[in-house]
Structures are given as structure tokens and as C-alpha cells.
Amino acid sequence: MTRDQNRYYVTTPIYYVNDVPHIGHAYTTLACDVLARFMRLDGRRVHFLTGTDEHGQKVEKSAHKAGMEPQKFTDEVSENFRALARQMNYSNDDFIRTTEARHKKAVQAIWKALTESGDIYLGSYAGWYAVRDEAFYNEDELSRDEEGRMIAPSGAEAEWLEEPSYFFRLSRWQEPLLKFYEENPDFIGPEGRRNEVISFVRGGLRDLSVSRTTFNWGIPVPDDPDHVVYVWLDALTNYITAVGYPNTDSENFSTFWPADVHMVGKDILRFHAVYWPAFLMAANLPLPRRVYAHGWLMNRGEKMSKSLGNVLRPQDLVENYGLDQVRYYLLREVPFGSDGYISHESMVARINGDLANDLGNLAQRVLSMIYKNCDATVPAPAEYHSADRILLDKAAGVLESVRREFAQQTFHRGLEAIWQIVGDANRYVDEQAPWILRKSDRERMGTVLYVLADTVRRLALIIQPVMPHAMERLLDQLNVSGEQRSFAYIEASLQPGEVLPKPEGIFPRYIEPEESQETS
């Protein structure tokens, strides 16, 4: 593996601090966490970044509404996102805030680079601006509501804005962007989103307002402190701030930039797939390798919103169903690039079906039979039959399928491939019937149980990124040492004679509260 292949840099969008974290934030960061954990187990040197976006008019308004100074307001709300990372067991290597000194330095440096390249000029802006989106819109993108207000595609109200402004020559980069998309077909995923971006850019790019004068909660423009840097130029720069920009000769920057994947919600794809690469081209910096826009999670078919009162808090889901169960469900239930529905019923079906019945029951049956029939000791296998080798090879070989699917952010397909092996292992138990072999052929029973235990070990290794706590417990029950839990050991084998602890269930069935009360 080359130096370039040995590193991996994955980022979440940095989350806007005008509200409390919700399931959408948890969903995006979970996908990045799974990628980061997977790549570490696969021998890669990983940098996993998340953080908070703390400047802009919307934050300033939210702070004033709360009766607080913006800095104190952002200090408090940013901490909510740190708490979410702890609650969801995310493994981020860095947490960046746009109010940090390192970030101010980076933003002012990229501003100067864009100025020196001739891509920033002073003018005046007159047009439609949505404070909630911190975005400018062309009139043909807007519609009027019943009260005559101009409404952006996101549903945010847009206001007419006139003020002096610096502009970025986005129009200059239309053809270079289209050429880049053509030469790098995997830069935007999934495919449907890529087509949307290309269509937007082909429709013509207008120069972009990149400063504001009507408020001051932002990073001052170098040499013109009456202006603050537009929040999206500010925010997007976080991805290079975190690896040492403007020191492009630093070890961190040379190791990790360009990023391997920026994970974003589909509502902010334009900023990441059009504006950000244009800024980087103009600053003569390498572009990220991939931008992936996932879909919305909908609550029983409705898009979640505070006004509908159907927003799901990740903490509530974890409290009700369990942390690793929620992690698995969010990536297994809905194809990651698509909009999809989540519900209590489908959550329970996954917990009781995939986890308790399929994987949990497999592990419990195998370990219990070893504990009872092999003196709680890993049995020594005798000669393998073809069915034994097929199952072991499948359990090791599925790693390559998962590696391929996760690299394309198709997490549900990777998990489907794993659960096919879980199903194969359960069928192997029934076909080999070790409880019958116990009376007729104990040597063969030992081989079957060894094959099953080693299959469970291999599955547990691969599932670690998605359900780290549960798989840690399962690998503990197999007495797999910590240094042997990376993917490098996928084709290793359990040590016969290893004494195992008394097995304990990993995934309890979900029982409805009223059922629990009736049986208590």
C-alpha cells in the first residue's frame, strides 16, 4: 500500500449552531464514523473531522433571540454537538469550530490567495437572500407563498438585499468545473446528484457574493474590516484548516489533503460540489476526491421538521432501542443515497430479526454448545469437509465486498452481503446438526463447532465499524485479543484449546413496553 493509499480523510459538514442536534446530524456523522473505523481496521491512517459552523447572520439572530452574545451562544450550542458525538460513540479525531483562531487564520489566507489570483473583486449586491439557508438565490429559483413572500426551494423565506459586497468570479470556473466533472466521474455521488450538479453548472454560473456588511458576526475581510467573509466561504475552508492550512508544507496537510470524501446532506451539495471546488481551483489547491450527498430520513413518510413536531432526537432513539441497534438500523434500513422512511415498526423488525434472531442467535447457539459440550474450550478441528471450507472462505471473502460497497458509501449493500453470510452460517448449523453429532461423532461435532466459532469471529471483525460495542463484547467471548481485531487477521484462525467465558446474549429482543408490563 502506497503512502497515498495508506491515508484516509473523511469529513462531516460542520453543523450550524442555531439549533440542537437532531437525527439528521447523527445520520451523517454516523456514516463518517463507520468509514473511519472501517479504514482504521483496514490498516489506513485516518483523519476524521466534524465540528460546528458558528458565524453568519442566522447565528447572530438566534443568539440575540436567546438574549446572549454570539460567542457565548455558540460556545453552548457547539458543546451539544460534542455531546452528541460522545453519546453516539463517534471516533472523530478532531472537532473544529469556525470561531477558533486557527480557522480565522486559514480563512483570511484563502481570501488573500483568491484575491491574488484575481478572483475576488469589489462591487455591490442586489438580490434575493435567505437568512435561514445563508444562501443567495436567483429569482427564477423562488416562488411566492399565499402571503406574497418569496420562498426558496428549501422553504426558507428570501429577502431582497442590497449592500456593498466583494464577489468571487465563479463564472470564470464554469468550464473548468465541467471538465473536472467529466474527468472525475466519481467526484459526486450518488449518480443522480452528479447529474443535478452538472445540469446546474451547465445552466450558467454567476459571480458569487462573498462578503457581508449588514452584520459583523464573522471573520473580517483582510484589509477591509467593514466586510465579513460570507459564511459559506468561511465554513467550507474548515476542511483545510483542520489539516494545517495555510501551512501547505506541514506533515498533516501533505498527508491528508485532498480529502477522500466530504459527506453532506443533499441540501448543501451545491456549496460542496460547485463553490468549494471553484474556490480551491482559484487558490491553486488540490480538490477533494469525492463529495457524497445522502438523502433525507423521514418519520413515517414525512420529512422531519420542528413545525410538524416529528423531529427525532438521537438520544431518545438510543435510550429506547440501544446504541448499536440504532447505528445498525440507520445504515441498513435506508439506501444511504436515497430518501427513506424510518419507523418504530421497522426498527423493531431489524432488532428482533437481523440482530436478535439471525446474528445474536447464531453466536449464542454456537458459544453455548461449545461451553456445554467442549468444556468451555475451543475445540480442535479435524479434517474439513467442503461445506466447512465454503463457509469459512465466504466469511473471509465478504470483506472485499464490504470494502467495495463502503468505498462507494452504499452501506446497506455492504451490510446485506454480511447478513447473507450470517444466513449461510445459520443454515450450516441446521444442516450439520452438532447436537446430533454429539452422540454419533464427537470429533465431527468439534470440527463443526470450530468452523462456526471462527465464522462468528470473522463476521464480528467485519461488523465492528457499525456496532463497535456489541462486537467488542462478542470478540471478548471468543477471547480474541485486542491486537488481533483488525482486518489483517480475517484469515487467521481461533486457537484450539482456548478457554472461553460463559456466553451471554449480545442482542436482546425488543419487547414493547405494554408487553413487558403484562409479563412482569
Instruction: Write the DSSP symbol of residue 483.
Output: G
Phi-psi region of 195 (alpha: psi -120 to 50; beta: other; left: phi over 0): alpha
Give me the CATH topology for the region 344-489. Isoleucyl-tRNA Synthetase; Domain 1 (1.10.730)
> Domain 7-294: which CATH class?
alpha beta
**β-strand 208-209 against 150-151: which pairing, if any?**
unpaired
SS3 248: coil
Please choose, from the candidates 209, 183, 218, the residue with its C-alpha nearest in 3D space to the C-alpha of residue 275: 209
How high is the pLDDT of residue 123?
Answer: 93
Helix, strand, coil percentages, rounded to 5, for the chain:
50, 15, 30
- The whole-angstrom separation of Cα 262 and Cα 240 is 12
**Amino acid, res. 328:** Y
- The whole-angstrom separation of Cα 4 and Cα 73 is 40
Sign of CA dihedral 302, 308, 309, 313: positive
392, containing H or E segment: helix 386-407
- The whole-angstrom separation of Cα 298 and Cα 40 is 31
Burial string for 215-249 (b: 16+ CB within 10 Å, else e) reads bebbbbbeeeeebbbbbbbbbbbbbbbbbbbbeee
- The whole-angstrom separation of Cα 192 and Cα 194 is 5
- The whole-angstrom separation of Cα 94 and Cα 246 is 18
From-to residues of CATH 1.10.730.10 in the chain: 344-489
For residue 436, with 0-12 CB atoms within 10 Å meaning exposed, 13-18 middle and 19 or more buried, which class applies? exposed
SS3 230: coil
How high is the pLDDT of residue 517?
Answer: 45
Beta-strand ranges (E) seen in 224-355 are 224-229, 261-265, 291-294, 297-299, 302-303, 340-342
Instruction: Return the bridge partners of 121, or none.
Output: 167
Q: How many CA atoms lie within 13 A of 363 on its CB side?
A: 25
The set of residues, in sequence order, having a beta carbon less than 8 Å from that of 170 and lying 6+ positions away, is 205, 206, 207, 208, 274, 275, 278
How high is the pLDDT of residue 303?
Answer: 55
Beta-strand ranges (E) seen in 186-276 are 188-189, 208-209, 211-212, 220-221, 224-229, 261-265
From-to residues of CATH 3.40.50.620 in the chain: 7-294
Q: In whole angstroms, how far apart are CA 169 and each of 198, 205, 384?
A: 18, 9, 68
**Amino acid, res. 179:** K
Question: Dihedral (C-alpha) 31, 35, 37, 42: value to the nearest 10 degrees?
Answer: 160
**β-strand 120-130 against 135-137: which pairing, if any?**
antiparallel
Per-residue pLDDT of the chain (520 residues; tens, 9 = 90+): 554 679 999 999 999 887 678 888 899 999 999 999 999 999 999 999 999 999 988 899 889 999 999 999 999 999 999 999 999 999 999 999 999 999 999 999 999 999 999 999 999 988 898 888 878 888 889 999 988 899 999 888 999 988 899 999 999 999 999 999 999 999 999 999 999 999 999 999 999 999 999 889 999 999 999 999 998 899 999 999 999 999 999 999 999 999 999 999 999 999 999 999 999 999 999 999 999 999 888 765 555 455 445 567 889 999 999 999 999 999 999 888 888 888 899 999 999 999 999 999 999 999 999 999 999 999 999 999 999 999 999 999 999 999 999 999 999 999 999 999 999 999 999 999 999 999 999 999 999 999 999 999 999 999 999 999 999 999 999 999 999 999 999 999 999 999 999 999 999 999 988 755 444 3
pTM to 2 decimal places: 0.92
Phi-psi region of 268 (alpha: psi -120 to 50; beta: other; left: phi over 0): alpha
Contact 446, 381 (CB under 8 A): yes
Please choose, from the candidates 376, 112, 414, the residue with its C-alpha nearest in 3D space to the C-alpha of residue 237: 112
- The whole-angstrom separation of Cα 398 and Cα 415 is 10
